[in-house]
Amino acid sequence: MATKKDTTAKPTAKSGAKSVKVTLVKSPFGQIHRHRATVRGLGLRRMHQTVVLADTPEIRGMLNASRHLLRVEEA
């Protein structure tokens, strides 16, 4: 018997470290390949999906590159 796979986003930020909550609010469909790849690299697959990521300079750069597709909040 097959079980349903858990699709909720797991927090990837370490406890005690600063983190950001990122939500995909605009579809990457029709965007340039680099922006689509950045969204996937952040762990976002579906519209309105939210992930919690560590607040590092690398992640901030990815967020800045695709900021028109994302909503970013402090977590």
Domains and CATH numbers, the chain: 27-74 (3.30.1390.20)
Kind of pairing between the strands at 70-74 and 19-24: antiparallel
- Residue-wise pLDDT tens digits, 14-42: 566 899 999 999 999 999 999 999 999 99
> What pLDDT was estimated at residue 12?
60
Cα-Cα-Cα-Cα dihedral sign, residues 46, 36, 40, 25: negative
Tokens 């858990």, located at residue: 6
List C-alpha distances in Å: 63 to 6, 19, 35, 71: 25, 13, 10, 9
> What pLDDT was estimated at residue 47?
97
pLDDT at 1 over 90: no
pLDDT at 4 over 80: no
What are the backbone dihedrals phi and psi of residue 39, each rounded to the nearest 5 degrees, phi first?
A: -60, -45
> What pLDDT was estimated at residue 75?
85
Hey, what are 14's tokens? 């370490």
